[in-house]
Structures are given as C-alpha cells and as structure tokens.
Structure 1
Amino acid sequence: MALTLSAMQGILLMLLVLVAACALLAERVKVPYPIVLLVAGLGLSFVPHVPRVPLKPEIVFLVFLPPLLYHSAWLTSWREFQRNMVSIVMLAVGLVTFTVVGIALFSDHVIAALDWKSGLVLGAVVATTDAIAATAIGKRIGLPKGVMDLLEGESLLNDATGLLALEFGVLIVVQGQTPTVGMAVGRFLWLIVGGVGVGLVLGALVVWLERFIDDAPVEIVISLVTPYAAYLIGERIGASGVLSVVACGLLVSRKGSQLYSPAARMQLSAVWQSLDFVLNGLVFCLIGLQLPYVLSGMVRGYSWVTLVKYGLGFSAVLIVLRLLWMYPAAWVAYAIRTRWLKQQHAQPSVKGTFVVGWTGMRGVVTLAAAIGLPYQLADGRPFEQRDLIVFLAFCVILVTLVGQGLTLPMLIRALGMAGVDTEVAEEKKLARGTALEAAVAWLNEERAKAEMASWPIFDNMLKTYESRLKVLCKAEPGESGTQTAKVQELVRGAARQQRHALLRLRAEGRVGDEAMRAVERELDLMETRLDTANS
C-alpha cells in the first residue's frame, strides 16, 4: 500500500529524530553511530504499527549516493590517491573479480538453491565495498590514515567493476545471453573512460563558473547540484555515474582553495558536514528497516536454522576470500610500485594488510543492488533465487557493518596500530610553519616599502606572526607543550567570560542580537583556530 504524504512526512520526522538520538547514544557508548542506527532500524522494524519504509534502488542511487560520494571524494587526498593507485586497482578490479568468481564457485557447490550463474549475480552484488560505510565507520573508529586512504580509494573506484559484473550476471541469468570478452572489455573501458570524462568536464565547468561568483549561498547551491548533475549525465551516456561524481569531486576539491572565499569555505564545510551526517544516518537506519521485506520472501521456503547457517556461512566465506586476496595482492602492488614506478614505499606489513582485509564493509549500495534485481526472467518464469540473494546480501551487511565494525577498534589496539599519526602531525607542523614564514617575509618586504609613520603597524603584525612561529617551533613534548596548552586554556577561559558579558548586555537591552552575533562569531572563529591548531 502506497504511503500518503502525511505518513511520509511523519516517517521522515521520526527517522530524523532517531538519527539525532542514536548519534548522541553512540557518542556515550563509544560506538560508531552508523552501527547504532542500523541496530535501531532493525529494532524499529519489529515494533507493531510502525509503517514499512521500502528502500527503492532508484532512491539510493539518485538521492543518497551522489552527494555522499561527492563529499567523500572532496575529502580524499589526491596525493595519497595517486600514490596508492596500483594498490587501489588491485582491490577495485582484482579483488572484485576474485570475489565474484569465488562466490560463484561456492554457490554452485555449497548452496543447493544456487547454481554458478545465480552465484555470479550474488557475487557481483556483494563484491564491492561501500564508500559510504568505509568513510562513516572507518574515520569514527580511529583507523590508521594509510588504511583509510586505501579503503576510501578502493570503495570509490570498485563500483565500475562491480557494476560490470552485475550487468553481465543479470544478462546471463535473466536474458540467457553470454557476453564476449571483447564486449566485456569494451563495456568496462567505457564505464571508466566515459564516467571519468564526464566528471572532469563538469568539474572544469564548475571551476570556470566559480571564478565569476562571489556569493556564498549561490556557491553552496552549485556545490549541491554538481554531484547530481555528474551522476545523471554519466548514467545517461551509459557510463559510470559514480565515477563521474568521484572524478568531479576530486577535481573541484583540488581547486577549492583558489575558488572560494574564506567565508564561503566555512559555510560550505558546515553545510556539507550536516548533509553528510543526516544522509548517512538515514541510510543506515533505512537498511535496518528493510528486515521485514527481506524476510517476507524467505520464510516460506527455508527453516530459520537453514537461513542462519546460510547467512553466517556465506558472510564468513566472503570475509575469507578478501583476506586470501590481500596478502599476495599487497606484495604484487609493492613490487610494481617500487620496481616499475620507482616509488618509495614501505614493505606491506602483516598487521596492516590484515586490517585492510578485515575492513571490507558492505552497505546500502549492496542492498540496493540486490533489491533492484528483476523478479522475472526474460521468458516470463520467476527468478526463484532472487529472494535468497537479497537475504544473503542483507546478512553480509549486518556481519560486516556490525560484526567487523565493532571488532575493529579492539583489533587495532591488539595489533598496536592505534595512536596519533606522526607523519600527518609533522606535515601539519611543516605546513603551518611554512605559511607563517611566508607571511613574515611578506610583511618585512611591505614594511621596507612603506612610510616610516606606518612602521609601528607592521611591527605589531610581525610580533604576532613571529610569536606564533616561535610557539610552533617549540611545540615539542615537555615544558613548552605544557605552556602552549596553558595559553590555549587561558584563551578559552577569556572567550567564555566574553560570552557571559555579551549575554548580560543583551539581557539588559544594551545591545541587540545583530551586534551580539557579530562579536560572538569573532569569538567562535578564534576558538575554531585553536581547535584547528590542535587537530
């Protein structure tokens, strides 16, 4: 039964409240909020009289996926993405192919209801890791930066391989056709070349257009429209819409520092962080709410014992396949990067490789791909294996998101991989020091050109920048670090007293809200700079 407009509004309000409440709970219990939301959605699906909320594949791919992928690509480091390209390709292409073939063979020999053809479809559905899940879970459990760079790159690119495998799997099972090698290679190349080409062209257009715009609200609207445009155009020409979004996001992000004013960048960051949080929350909650739909087609043909065995066994096989691929792939990638590409790269460690292998989380894209499978074959016969494929895909999502997601923090601590990334900390220190040195050099040049009467102004500015540089250079563990922390504590305390004074002035009617907000924003910026310096 179709939901009425008022029912849809009520459901949306309920989900938004649930997202906010679960995020607060997750912060309290120190669990990544996507896991809490998934479990909450599962629990909510059992509550009587709660309306069922179907997860339409077109909603996932047209509404949720483009902005989430765009934001993920925006935050991706192009330098690390480029450095890790060989390793990423080994996962995004090699691992996906290995998984599809492995699942097809497993299904044909172990799962009675599936043959190798339907197993091929199942393998294509679950082969690709989820960019949304990797970003949302990984960053919140403290994965090492090197692991996160690799996982993000893999999940951003493996869509092309997964889509191709799913397309051919459906062609074999539903249409009864067998694609040729030439057809497979041509289709794969078009997915990549067409998708990346659309993204780069649209990104270049956005970069050119932004040079004529200096209005933050307009720039925010353009940034929100861009991922949808990239995805729709990419899909319209038969290429990968996901790769279009990723390529566009990487290009525009690379040029972002030259395009946007500081005020626009702050507003854009706030808008996208909020949007990313809300959409991620809704996605993981909706996954949990799909349980009634998943089970509705399953209980008629299978016992619960059989379903549990199939679900857990299949999830275990998928995890093992990934781990089996990781070690030889890591060494092959290392050999290519060091011998052929002449890159300086550390040998793959057993611990780091295992963590990457253990972090192959699946999410909403896997479920949407399964739900989007046709109900009938080309000759009109029902696609009997469809319900089982949907169920197994749902089990994989639960096991990888909840099981692996909850065990990852313990695994990282047990392997001794937790802690501050010293390389990133050193790079931040270098960046801040170089920027301050450039400012001091420029001020000295301008002071030499200026009239003597204005020298005190330059001297005051130079003292400010030189003192910051001095603090930065001394920011080592020990006494100087303690002094820096004390200064920051005093600054925060002074800002807190200033806010109290502002509130008192407003309560007495001596200043209005506009004046208060202007001064309050200055205090917010000052404290934000302290937070940035500590990050």
Structure 2
Amino acid sequence: MHTILPFLLAMIAVIVLLNMWAAKLRIAYPILLVIGGLLISFIPGLPKVKIDPDLIFFIFLPPLLFEASWSVSFKEMRKWWRIIGSFAFLVVFFTALSVAVVTNHFIPGFSIALGFLLGGIVSPPDAVSTGAITKFVKIPKSTSAILEGESLLNDASSLIIFRFALMAIGSGQFIWHEAALSFVWMIVGGTGIGLIVAWLFVKAHKLLPTDASSDIALTLIEPYFMYWIAEQLECSGVLAVVSGGLYMSARSLVFLNSASRIRGFSFWESFIFILNGIVFLIIGLELPEIVAGLQTEGISLQTAIGYGVLVTAVLILSRIISSYTAMVSTLIFRPSVAPGRGGSLRNRLLLPLMLGWTGMRGVVSLAAALAIPITLHGAPFPHRNLILFITFVAILLTLVIQGLTLPYFINRLRLFDSFMNEEAEEATRREMKRGLKQHVFEFLKKKQENELKDHAGIELFMRHWEEKAKVADDSWMNEKTKAIFIEMLEVQREYLTALNKDPKINEEIIRAQLYQIDLEEERIKSS
C-alpha cells in the first residue's frame, strides 16, 4: 500500500500535467494521455497495477456514462433521434460484423465469436475524445447533438454485443431465439430499472434535508446503484445508467439547489477527467505484460501491429460507409430532418465523410478490453493479449490520426460555414435576455402593487434590474430583500424552462444562463 499510494498520486499528477500541456498545444488531452501511457510503459521498475476484470466495468463505466447523460441535451437527442439511433445501434452492429468477418479471415485461429467480441469492444466512438477534439472547432448544434447522442447510446449497444459474444465463446453455441428475448429484456428492463431507481433518488433528494456535500455524495453513488441493480437482474446496466441520468438531468432544477448544481458540476468535471486519465495510463502500464503474452502465443510484435492497423482501417471505413448510407436513407425517407440541409452540394457530400472521421475510440473500449476474463474454463482466454493489443492500437491510431487531423480538415474545408449561424444565436441570446428582463420587471411590479407598497428596497430592485448597474451601498439588502431576490431568480428559471420547450432555441444557451443564475443566487446568499 505504501508503494502503490505514492504511485497513484504520481499518476494523477502526470494526468494533470499532460492536460495542461495539451491545452498549451491546443490538442485534445486524450491524445496525450494515450501517448503518455505508452511512453510510461517503457519506464523500468514501475509497480504492477492489477484490477480484477470483473470490476473494470463496475468501477469506471457508471460514473462516465452518468456524467455524459447529464451533459447531453435531451431535447436535441429527441430531435435527431432517427440518425442517433441508426448510428448508435445499426452502425455499431455493422462495424462489429465487419471486424468479425475481417479478423476471422485474416487472423489465424480467430473465430467469428472472437471477432464479434473484438468488434463489440472497438465499435463505439468515445464521447470524451470527440468532445475534447471538437471544442477547438465550431460545428453546428445538429452535428454536435448527433455525436453526443450517438456516443451516449452506442456504448450500450456495443457492450450488449460484447456480452453476447462472451457468452457464445464460453458456451460454444449461440441460440438465436434465446438471444433475441434476452436482448429485448436487456433493453426494456435496463431502461425501466434506471428510471425507477432515478425516480427514487429524486424523491430522496427532495424529502431528505440534504446540503450541497450530501447531494454530491448521493449523485456519486446513484450510477453505481443503477448499474448494479440492472446487472443483478441480467439487464443492461449501461442503459440503466443512461436512462436514469437523463431522467435526473431533466429534473435537476427541481431536486437540487443552486449550490449543489454549481459544486456538483465542478466535482464531476474533475472526477471524470481523472477516471479517463487513469484508464489510459493503466493500459499503458499493462502493455509490457501484453506484449510478453503475445510472444508466448507465438505472435510477433510486428504481426500484432499489422492486425491492429487492419482493424483500425476496418473501423474507419465501416463508419464512413455507414455515414453515407445514413445520409442517403435520410434524404430518401425523411429529407426534412436531414442535418445540414440547405447547404451547398459540396458540403452535403463531405458532411458524412466528416461524421465518419469523428470515430475516435477511447476509454469505454479500454475498459471493455480489460474486462475480458483472464481464464475460460480453467485455461487462458483465447487471444486475450492480442485483443488487448489490437484495442490499444486502434485507440492510439484513431486518436492520433483522426484526432489531430479532424480540426484541420473542418477549418481547411470550411465545411460547416454555411450551416453556422452565429448571428442567429446572438439574436437568440439578446431576445432571451430581453424577455428575462421584461418578465422579471413585471414580476417586481406585481410584487410591489400587491405586497410591498412601502418596502424601501423594492424601488432599488427595480432600478437595479432595469439599469443592470451595481449599487454602491448594499445596506438595503436585508433578509427580506434577499428573499425577494431569490424568488425573482426562481421566476427567471421558470421562464427559461418554458422557453427551452421551443425547438428552435439552442439548449446550450439556456443552460449557460441557468448556470449564471445559480452563481448569482449563491452570491446573494453569501452577501
């Protein structure tokens, strides 16, 4: 313990330093993390970090998926659900099938079941990597919504493939009708359990006298409860966490106060950042052992790298082909919902290519690969080291090749210029703030007329809101005026919540304003 603890602290320090370096270089930090993990593996004398494969999913997946479900815009997901659904399920299955067929043909001793296992591992693009890379370029909200929604749901579909492939390898057979029933139960049961558990936790937050610290502690254990209960009932723990997280995110204004939301946002941002970094470094630390395992299986490093490059090429081509297929299908059957409609023909033809080029792999693939059992029926699991190595190569190549070139291609091709409408978004912000100002001013007038005719601070309130200027003397801010101010902030939240129902309004603008209102409430409470 005295050896491991300083090493773990050093790992976190390395993660932080790599993130700062990535920010300075203006590249996505997962790229440096995966390269850093690779370089660290060559340092001699490092202690071995071993995590039980059965615990990998349980430790890392629930919080990663829970945080992602809170960050995504459910309104945008609902708007683009057809494209998101096709990418999250059909494209993942097509990719896994492609990997299975190619590896079965080119890798000696690699069965179709093993190919599907590898395909389930490497098929889902990584939400964190995609988000970290696209933050350096401006992309339309429709494209970002598709990428975020896809990355949230494709983890579930890919891990379902992973589970069925693992069962087929273990039993040596695959019964289709039983698999179909199990598949339906995993989806329906997982979603239902996630919603039920989330509803219970929302009630707990509302009924218990919680503060910000206890609220954050509860949100930390919630995804683990959702995942564990669903897995015990043989449902999809991933879908349980995603559905429960989306339910709680949509109701966060109801059961969390402003302090809990502000502090919770900071906590989860740091926590997820550290989790991602640890997984990347762990696989780097295990690389020497993986390479040694390859040599005992009679597979040279050069051959293994070749297999990794082959699988990576299959992943990229499968996603690009799927992107163009989805575009053609959408234009034929639902032309009104095609993203980027109205742009030039050149840009509409290049858009699927860019969507296909966003398939960077990351932490979920690493966690799935590490979760493969070490033994099967008492014997070493077939080709486990090779699957781990191919997964690492696929992540490394997609992050470095696609991750470094994607911002350049978007800026160079000016692909999204015709789809971006910054003036419209700025107009939306101005209209929102004007509506807020008018709504609050009417609230204060009604308050003055009905309850506070002789209140000394109400006129200052009205002038403060009308002129948006600081008042030099804060002596008028007594307990009663604080209560009015906080009530006024709640009125603003209600207005913004109602405004967010408009499908034309970008939810990111609403969320940013709600965060500012939370900050203002905390400032008033502490004054």
1:44 corresponds to? 40
Paired residue secondary structure (1:297): helix
2:500 corresponds to? none
1:303 corresponds to? 300
Q: Please state how far the C-alpha of 1:299 moved relative to its aligned partner.
A: 3.0
Q: Please state how far the C-alpha of 1:526 moved relative to its aligned partner.
A: 11
Cα distance change, pair 330–276 in 1 and its aligned pair in 2 (3 A): same
Query: Which whole-Å CA distance do the structure 2 matches of 1:7 and 1:413 have between them?
Result: 47
Most deviating of 325-334 and 88-97: 325-334
2:118 matches 1:111: no
1:518 corresponds to? none
Q: Please state how far the C-alpha of 1:25 moved relative to its aligned partner.
A: 1.1
Alignment of 1:7-22 (within 5 A): 7-22=3-18
Query: Which whole-Å CA distance do the structure 2 matches of 1:169 and 1:306 have between them?
Result: 25
C-alpha contact 1:156 1:243 (8 A) present in aligned 2: no
Paired residue secondary structure (2:294): coil
Paired residue secondary structure (2:3): helix
C-alpha contact 2:194 2:226 (8 A) present in aligned 1: yes
Q: Please state how far the C-alpha of 1:147 moved relative to its aligned partner.
A: 2.5
C-alpha contact 1:311 1:396 (8 A) present in aligned 2: yes
- Matching residue's letter, 1:396: A
Q: Please state how far the C-alpha of 1:398 moved relative to its aligned partner.
A: 0.8
Paired residue secondary structure (1:320): helix
Percent identity for Structure 1 against Structure 2: 33
2:203 corresponds to? 208
Of 42, 60, 64, which aligns to 1:68?
64
2:395 corresponds to? 397
Query: Which whole-Å CA distance do the structure 2 matches of 1:323 and 1:457 have between them?
Result: 62
C-alpha contact 1:45 1:52 (8 A) present in aligned 2: no
Cα distance change, pair 284–191 in 1 and its aligned pair in 2 (3 A): same
2:434 corresponds to? 433
> Paired residues, what number?
465
Q: Please give the per-residue CA displacement for 1:336-374, whole angstroms capped at 9, x wherever unaligned.
A: 5557xxx68653923332222111122222223223334
1:367 corresponds to? 366
Paired residue secondary structure (1:413): helix
* Structure 2 unaligned residues grouped into runs of 5+: 471-515, 521-527
Q: Please state how far the C-alpha of 1:402 moved relative to its aligned partner.
A: 2.3
Cα distance change, pair 47–424 in 1 and its aligned pair in 2 (3 A): farther
C-alpha contact 2:258 2:519 (8 A) present in aligned 1: no
2:30 corresponds to? 34
Paired residue secondary structure (1:97): helix
Paired residue secondary structure (1:298): helix
1:320 corresponds to? 317
1:414 corresponds to? 412
Q: Please state how far the C-alpha of 1:408 moved relative to its aligned partner.
A: 1.6
Query: Which whole-Å CA distance do the structure 1 matches of 2:338 and 2:210 have between them?
Result: 42
Of 181, 193, 213, which aligns to 1:198?
193
Query: Which whole-Å CA distance do the structure 1 matches of 2:115 and 2:517 have between them?
Result: 57
Query: Which whole-Å CA distance do the structure 2 matches of 1:319 and 1:405 have between them?
Result: 12
TM-score, with structure 1 as normaliser: 0.80
Most deviating of 417-426 and 272-281: 417-426
Most deviating of 330-339 and 42-51: 330-339
TM-score, with structure 2 as normaliser: 0.81
- Matching residue's letter, 1:305: Q
C-alpha contact 1:92 1:155 (8 A) present in aligned 2: yes
1:462 corresponds to? 462
Cα distance change, pair 384–350 in 1 and its aligned pair in 2 (3 A): same
Q: Please state how far the C-alpha of 1:89 moved relative to its aligned partner.
A: 1.3
Paired residue secondary structure (1:174): helix
Query: Which whole-Å CA distance do the structure 1 matches of 2:280 and 2:445 have between them?
Result: 54
Q: Please give the per-residue CA displacement for 1:290-349, whole angstroms capped at 9, x wherever unaligned.
A: 32233121234233432332222221121111111111113324555557xxx6865392
Q: Please state how far the C-alpha of 1:281 moved relative to its aligned partner.
A: 2.5
Most deviating of 64-73 and 171-180: 171-180
C-alpha contact 1:195 1:243 (8 A) present in aligned 2: yes
C-alpha contact 1:231 1:241 (8 A) present in aligned 2: yes
2:445 corresponds to? 444
Cα distance change, pair 225–305 in 1 and its aligned pair in 2 (3 A): closer
Alignment RMSD: 2.8
Cα distance change, pair 149–47 in 1 and its aligned pair in 2 (3 A): same
1:171 corresponds to? 167
